[in-house]
């Protein structure tokens, strides 16, 4: 359960929470926290920054502890091991107490400078405010092309538009409660879920800054991104399952066309190469169908296990919340 938000009747400004998942970010975390706190000071004095250490092996949590001693509004929790960004986001949302909750990355690829714009859109009535990437100078062309391909495929299959979307967003307290308490699935895709819940939504564009040498490199390699993309699509759409019978129909049609062509031309369909191509195509289609079904079975297996999405090893400045 989420911690109850008790608003001080003497306070007129809402509490703003910022949730930052971090993995091996000890070198840059101090700079990130200073930048985020500096921008928040210009919005309101009532804020908290919740940093989730996703099982880092460096001094990430030590940096959180040090920052908390300087400013108690900076809080943190350390997961028992690396559970992944989605689990870290969920842990942060469960502990955040703000009426408006902003989620952003720890590597400054989500510029804190647009947080006032997110806040103004929320004050104007939007329950979810998306940070929309309008450029990607820090990423290479291949990464950008694959990202656009995933967004297009996900949008076509699920009906939720993720074009240029990111994990940089502001969520109203009501939306946070729904995401945490009413959506219990283990295979989570926060970008998709925040679009699925509905409510009035708005967007704020931002340019992705170039990644500086001291920021290191992105840990989202192509292998991890591929697995993440497949899990996300399987969690939001059943249409890939329709590919399997459709593929079977296409193969039958291809066989009929080839047989009819041979009969009309009075020629025998022969040739080891041609036969090999047919076998490879059929085998590949079968394996593709099995692969699609296996992804859905894997998601079902994770849900049936009912293991907690994360385990907390230590907190600082936070009330413990037991994961469901």
Read off the pLDDT of residues 190-245 as tens digits, 9 standing for 90 and up: 777 777 787 888 888 888 777 655 555 555 555 555 655 555 565 655 566 666 66
The string of DSSP codes covering 106-156 is TTSSS-GGGHHHHHHHHHTT-SEEEEEEEEETTS-HHHHHHHHHHHHHHHH
More confident position, 7 or 69: 69
Say how far apart CA 69 and CA 191 lie, in whole Å: 33
Tally of domains in the chain: 2
Q: What is the DSSP letter of 199?
A: S
The verdict on 39 and 176 lying in the same domain is yes
pLDDT recorded at residue 261: 60
Residue 20: the pLDDT is: 95
Give domain status of residue 231, yes or no.
Answer: no
- The helix (H) or strand (E) run that includes residue 103 is strand 100-103
Percentage, residues of the chain above pLDDT 90: 29
Residues 190, 65, single domain; the answer is yes
CATH code of the domain containing 199: 3.90.550.10
**Could you read off the pLDDT of 115-162 as tens digits, one per residue?**
999 999 999 999 999 888 876 554 556 555 666 666 666 566 555 666
- State residue 70's pLDDT score: 92
**Stronger pLDDT, 119 or 309, i.e. the higher one:** 119
Range of the domain at 287: 236-305
- CA 135/CA 63 separation, integer angstroms: 31
Same-domain check for residues 185 and 63: yes
Q: Give 191's Cβ-side CA count (13 Å radius).
A: 23
Same-domain pairing of 165 and 284: no
Task: Name the residue with tokens 């704020």.
Answer: 204
pLDDT value at 96 more than 80: yes
User: Does 226 map to a domain?
Assistant: no
At 255 the pLDDT is 61
Burial of 43 (0-12, 13-18, 19+ CB in 10 A): middle
Q: What would the mean pLDDT of 73-86 be, rounded to a whole number?
A: 91
Name which residue leads in pLDDT, 185 or 125: 125
Asked if 88 and 209 sit in the same domain, the reply is yes
User: What are phi and psi for residue 78, nearest 5 degrees?
Assistant: -115, 125
Looking at the domain assignment, is residue 25 inside a domain? Answer: yes
Q: Are residues 191 and 245 in the same domain?
A: no
**pLDDT tens for each residue of 229-244:** 555 565 655 566 666 6
Is 323 among the domain residues?
Answer: no
Residue 242 has which token pair? Answer: 């329709």
Paired tokens of 30: 């101090």
Can you tell me the distance from the alpha carbon of 112 to that of 54, in angstroms, rounded to the nearest whole number? Answer: 21
What are 249-287's pLDDT values in tens digits?
Answer: 666 666 656 656 655 555 555 555 566 566 766 766 676
Residues 77 and 197 in one domain: yes
């Amino acid at each position: 359960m989420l911690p109850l938000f008790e608003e001080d009747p003497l306070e007129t400004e809402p509490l703003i929470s910022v949730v930052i998942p971090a993995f091996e970010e000890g070198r840059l975390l101090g700079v990130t926290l200073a930048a985020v706190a500096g921008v928040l000071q210009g919005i309101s004095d009532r804020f908290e920054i919740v940093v989730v250490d996703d099982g880092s092996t460096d001094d990430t949590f030590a940096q959180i502890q040090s920052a908390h001693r300087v400013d108690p509004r900076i809080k943190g929790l350390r997961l028992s091991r690396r559970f992944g960004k989605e689990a870290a986001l969920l842990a942060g949302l469960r502990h955040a107490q703000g009426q408006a909750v902003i989620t952003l990355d720890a590597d400054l690829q989500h510029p804190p400078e647009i947080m006032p714009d997110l806040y103004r859109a929320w004050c104007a009535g939007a329950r979810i405010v998306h940070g929309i990437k309008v450029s990607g100078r820090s990423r290479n062309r291949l990464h950008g092309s694959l990202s656009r391909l995933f967004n297009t495929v996900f949008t076509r299959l699920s009906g939720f538009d993720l074009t240029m979307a990111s994990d940089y967003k502001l969520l109203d307290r009501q939306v946070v409660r729904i995401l945490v308490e009413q959506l219990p699935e283990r295979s989570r895709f926060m970008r998709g879920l925040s679009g699925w819940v509905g409510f009035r939504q708005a967007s704020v564009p931002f340019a992705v800054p170039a990644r500086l040498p001291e920021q290191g490199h992105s840990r989202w390699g192509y292998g991890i991104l591929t697995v993440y993309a497949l899990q996300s699509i399987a969690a939001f759409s059943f249409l890939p399952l329709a590919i399997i019978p459709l593929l079977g129909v296409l193969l039958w049609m291809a066989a009929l066309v080839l047989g009819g062509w041979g009969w009309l031309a009075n020629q025998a369909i022969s040739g080891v190469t041609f036969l090999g191509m047919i076998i490879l195509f059929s085998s590949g289609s079968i394996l593709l169908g099995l692969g699609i079904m296996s992804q859905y079975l894997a998601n079902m297996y994770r849900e049936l296990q009912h293991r907690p999405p994360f385990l907390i090893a230590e907190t600082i400045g936070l009330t413990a919340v037991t994961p469901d």
